[in-house]
Amino acid sequence: MYFNDALKSSLQTIINHKFRSFLTLLGIMIGVTSVVAMFSSVNGIKMIIDENMSKMGWENKLVIQPGSNSSQRMGGRGMYFSFRTSSAGKKTKPISYEDFEAIKRDVEAKYLYGFIENWFRRTTQGSKGKSGSETIVFTSGTLGAWNRLRAVTEDYFHLNNYELKEGHFFNAFEMSRAEKVCIVGPGFSKDELDGEEPLGKYYTADGHRFRIVGVLDNDPMEKTQGIFNFNSWQRRSDLQAIYIPLKTGATYLRRGMALDNITMQSNDSESFNDMQNRASQVLLSRHNMQKDFTANDVGAEILEITKELEDMMKKWSITLFVIAAVSLVVGGIGLFSTLLISINERMMEIGVRKSLGAKDSDIFFYFITEAITLSVISAIFGILLGILITFGLGAAIKTHVPLAMISVYIGLGFAFVIGFLSGLYPALRAANINPIQAIYYFE
Mean pLDDT of 326-335: 79
How far apart (Å, rounded) are the C-alpha atoms in residues 260 and 247?
Answer: 13
How far apart (Å, rounded) are the C-alpha atoms in residues 353 and 355?
Answer: 6
Buried/exposed 81-114: b ≥16 CB within 10 Å, e otherwise: ebebebeeeeebbbbbbebbebbbeebebbbbbb
pLDDT at 103 over 80: yes
CA-nearest of 436, 428, 418 to 340 is 428
pLDDT at 117 over 90: yes
According to DSSP, the residues that pair with 65 across neighbouring strands are: 294
What is the overall mean pLDDT for the chain? Answer: 77
CB 152 within 8 A of CB 204: no
How far apart (Å, rounded) are the C-alpha atoms in residues 398 and 383?
Answer: 22
pLDDT at 79 over 60: no
pLDDT at 411 over 70: yes
CA distance readout (Å), 106 to 101, 110, 210, 258, 379: 9, 13, 31, 19, 60
By DSSP bridging, strand 181-184 and strand 208-216 are parallel
How far apart (Å, rounded) are the C-alpha atoms in residues 145 and 138?
Answer: 10
pLDDT at 383 over 80: yes
Mean pLDDT of 393-411: 77
Instruction: State the pLDDT at residue 116.
Output: 95
Local confidence band at 56 (pLDDT 50, 70, 90 cut-offs): low
Instruction: State the pLDDT at residue 343.
Output: 79
Q: Left if phi > 0, otherwise alpha if psi is -120 to 50, otherwise beta: which for 194?
A: left
pLDDT by residue (tens digit) across 165-190? 899 999 999 999 999 999 988 866 66
Amino acid at 197: E
CA-nearest of 258, 299, 278, 251 to 103 is 278
How far apart (Å, rounded) are the C-alpha atoms in residues 124 and 135?
Answer: 9
How far apart (Å, rounded) are the C-alpha atoms in residues 299 and 270?
Answer: 13
**In the chain, % of residues over pLDDT 90:** 20
**Mean pLDDT lowest for which of 164-173, 218-227, 313-322?**
218-227
How far apart (Å, rounded) are the C-alpha atoms in residues 28 and 331?
Answer: 4
Instruction: State the pLDDT at residue 74.
Output: 37
CA-nearest of 205, 221, 211 to 170 is 211
CB 188 within 8 A of CB 210: no
How far apart (Å, rounded) are the C-alpha atoms in residues 412 and 417?
Answer: 9
pLDDT at 395 over 70: yes
Amino acid at 401: V
pLDDT at 243 over 50: yes
Helix (H, G, I), strand (E, B) or coil at 308: helix
Local confidence band at 212 (pLDDT 50, 70, 90 cut-offs): very high
pLDDT by residue (tens digit) across 258-301? 999 999 998 888 888 899 999 999 999 999 888 888 888 876 76
CB 90 within 8 A of CB 262: no
Higher pLDDT, 147 or 200: 200
Mean pLDDT of 7-26: 68
By DSSP bridging, strand 95-96 and strand 145-152 are unpaired
Instruction: State the pLDDT at residue 143.
Output: 36
Instruction: State the pLDDT at residue 356.
Output: 80
Q: How far apart are the first and last CA of the chain?
A: 33
Local confidence band at 29 (pLDDT 50, 70, 90 cut-offs): confident
CB 166 within 8 A of CB 199: yes
